[in-house]
Structure 1
Amino acid sequence: MTRLRILTLSPGFPYPPDDGTKIQTFNRIRFLAARNEVTLLSVSTKPPDSRYVEVMRQYCGVHLFHTNVRHSSAGPRAKLGNLVRSLWGLTPYYLKEYLVAEVEEWLQQNLDPNRFDVVEMETLTGLYMRPWWPALKVYINHCISPAVFKREFAVQKGLLRKLRLLPYGLMEGACLNKVNKMADLAVALTPQSESELRALHPAIKASNCLTNGVDLDYFHYRFTRKEPRGFAFVGLMSHPPNIDAVIHFYQDIFPLIRRRFPDMKFFVVGSSPPHEIKMLTSDPSVVVTGRVEDVREYLLDAGIAVIPTRAGGGILNKILESLALGVPVITRSNSVEGLSVHSGKELLIADEPSDFADAAVRMVKDADLRMSLSSQGRKYVERCHQWEHIVRRYEDALRDLLERQRREQRKGVFRQA
């Protein structure tokens, strides 16, 4: 089998794999590298630790570039300036800041058909894509921006917040729609996302040839029948959908649970919690950890994982990790997009706050239910979300598309002759 020469443009350095984008990028590179030659081009806001660079060099060549991202100010003048910068060119300012002249120069000099067969991009790095690139252009959609915008817009409280979000949502959606139309392959991580991509424009070549997986060795099965101490939410706490999920659980669901179990705790586990999340610790039943080295211990200590996410999109790694670990999960129906799971079998699903609280009370009281959900959840991720199988399917799709393109090129040469 011929080794593909793959260039991966990554928004940030993918190691350690401690958020959703990094988890996907790191594992994709790790398993593609077993049969192919992979080169990583990373555009980061700060230089990665040299130890992390050496880890990635076990799998791929590494090229590092730096971007200076301005942290948005809370002042009205700064916000107005950001909006004006965004409207000039109809590109959100936070996307423009990832366009680095040195990266564009490197791509211009190195994207030779004899050097790379495939260029894969994701999130912000899609803005570097150009239609004349000789390699197969692949854009990986972690979620579909217009669909995510609709969900985030719906949960925003207050007209002013909605008006602030509106221009950025529309501009970001238009930018990424343009990128997807330019790509030879627009990858969707769920069947629903594939349908959403196709609905945006008939020219988009969408395919659900890739999804998210879980490291089954790291998240090895560790179920215990001990009584739960509380409920754990795990995630990057600077991510707006995670902030909304934590506030929603604390304000609308947790009080209903505590009427039955007043001693239960709520563990908020993840880096960069904003002030509004830290303020929850004024309630002694809430623990906000910040960044931790090992989320597994917090999930196991709590005993139940709660994922009441109302915004965002795509497959949530936090669900897969909890299922793999054997920690029973309660979530909402929108959070299981792309998962072949059923409420009452692998996890519990509840959308209304009262129903979510009832599911939590039921799970706390019923050890047999927790054991059954734990066992079936682990079997599900073993069956459907092993990274090696996922990446092999994606690689097969790349090879098939490259072969079709080369056949068309040969036909064109033959017709010209």
Structure 2
Amino acid sequence: MARVLFVTSRLPFPPREGHQLRSWHVLKGLAARHEVTLLSFTRLDDDADAAEEMREHLAGLETFPIASERSKLALAWSLLRSAVTREPFVSTKYASRAMQARIAELARNADVVHFDMLPLMRYADAVPAGVPVVYNAHNVEHVLLATRARLHGHPLVRRFLDSQLPRLLGFERRACVRAKLVLACSTTDAEQLRTLAPGTRVEVVPNGVDLDGNRPAATANGRQKAKLVFVGQMGWFPNRDGIDWFLHDIFPRIVAARPDAEFVLVGKADGLDVPAEVASHVT
């Protein structure tokens, strides 16, 4: 049984969004076979009481606030720090001396340290030499940022995103080089990460789904309705971009072939542009 120090950017339980789902199921799978201690930042909307349910799976659980979410001064400092250094804002916003110190202390007795998501790799240097580091790459972040910068409609936001791109690209490359093992969500992501940092060991651990918890109920006549469900918040750019493409380019073809088709969008979708030709099929 290995001693695993697992570090997350927000409480992974209850899993209510994409990255929590991946984090929680990887964490729970490891905890079933190993001794896992979790150090987690907490977001303002995290459910601290429900997170106590995680303790039965863990050897230890400690939480740390994200200062930049609780203080405008801390947020301004994070932005300034990114502007005057080569570190991207997605990393500086998670700066915490308390987290740094705790990782350095606990990593001395760990067999492996797992950093869940790119920003947390800022703490990889706190891990003693000889203790392997695993980086769980939920995305290829520089690719997402480049796409967002290209498509964003506001020129000032686009300028800021463009300024962040070289910082993020370098940070992501250094993270891959530092890690003993990088976990990717798909073969496409894996190839992009290997191209970014040649020689990096990248293994694919695909995202899954709880089939028992998400199995559709059969209708009375045994025929399944032509219903598609997407779960995700439109506040995250890749989700909105993907759904916009699906609704305009793909779903009209589905409706043409199956007039009973229904698309159910679960999550915040304020301002989503739904084409008139399929609007009656979208809820």
TM-score, scaled to structure 2: 0.79
Residues 94, 158 of structure 1: alpha-carbon distance in 2 compared, 3 angstrom cutoff: closer
Hey, what does 2:19 align to over in structure 1? 21
**What are structure 2's unaligned runs of at least 5 residues?**
none
**What are structure 1's unaligned runs of at least 5 residues?**
74-78, 289-417
Give 1:148-187 correspondences, 5 Å limit. Answer: 148-153=144-149, 155-156=151-152, 162-187=158-183
Provide the C-alpha distance between the structure 2 equivalents of 1:37 and 1:240, rounded to a whole number of angstroms: 36
Alignment equivalent of 2:238, drawn from 233, 238, 241:
241
Provide the C-alpha distance between the structure 1 equivalents of 2:256 and 2:208, rounded to a whole number of angstroms: 37
User: Does the CA-based 8 Å contact 2:100-2:126 persist in structure 1?
Assistant: no
Provide the C-alpha distance between the structure 2 equivalents of 1:256 and 1:266, rounded to a whole number of angstroms: 13
Hey, what does 2:41 align to over in structure 1? 43
Which residue identity does 1:119 align to in structure 2?
Answer: V
1:193 positional shift:
2.3
Hey, what does 1:58 align to over in structure 2? 56
Provide the C-alpha distance between the structure 2 equivalents of 1:151 and 1:104, rounded to a whole number of angstroms: 32
Which residue identity does 1:238 align to in structure 2?
Answer: G
1:36 positional shift:
0.8
Hey, what does 1:120 align to over in structure 2? 114
Deviations for 1:3-62, whole angstroms, at most 9, x for unmatched residues? 100010001000011222211111112121122100110011237434422211111121
Residues 254, 205 of structure 1: alpha-carbon distance in 2 compared, 3 angstrom cutoff: closer
Which residue identity does 1:68 align to in structure 2?
Answer: A
Percent identity over the alignment is 26
Hey, what does 2:9 align to over in structure 1? 11
Provide the C-alpha distance between the structure 1 equivalents of 2:145 and 2:240, rounded to a whole number of angstroms: 16
Provide the C-alpha distance between the structure 2 equivalents of 1:158 and 1:101, rounded to a whole number of angstroms: 35
User: Does the CA-based 8 Å contact 1:122-1:141 persist in structure 2?
Assistant: yes
Give 1:210-289 correspondences, 5 Å limit. Answer: 210-220=205-215, 222=217, 224=219, 225-228=223-226, 231-251=228-248, 266-270=263-267, 272-273=268-269, 275-277=270-272, 285=280
User: Does the CA-based 8 Å contact 2:144-2:238 persist in structure 1?
Assistant: no
User: Does the CA-based 8 Å contact 1:263-1:285 persist in structure 2?
Assistant: no
Residues 201, 13 of structure 1: alpha-carbon distance in 2 compared, 3 angstrom cutoff: same
User: Does the CA-based 8 Å contact 1:6-1:37 persist in structure 2?
Assistant: yes
Which residue identity does 2:192 align to in structure 1?
Answer: E
Moved more, 134-143 or 242-251: 242-251
1:130 positional shift:
0.5
SS at match of 2:142: helix
Larger Rg: 1
Residues 237, 252 of structure 1: alpha-carbon distance in 2 compared, 3 angstrom cutoff: same
Residues 156, 261 of structure 1: alpha-carbon distance in 2 compared, 3 angstrom cutoff: farther
Moved more, 141-150 or 156-165: 156-165
User: Does the CA-based 8 Å contact 2:263-2:282 persist in structure 1?
Assistant: yes
SS at match of 1:58: helix
TM-score, scaled to structure 1: 0.56
SS at match of 2:13: coil
SS at match of 1:130: helix
Alignment equivalent of 2:102, drawn from 103, 106, 112:
106
Aligned-pair Cα RMSD in Å: 3.6
Provide the C-alpha distance between the structure 1 equivalents of 2:191 and 2:275, rounded to a whole number of angstroms: 41
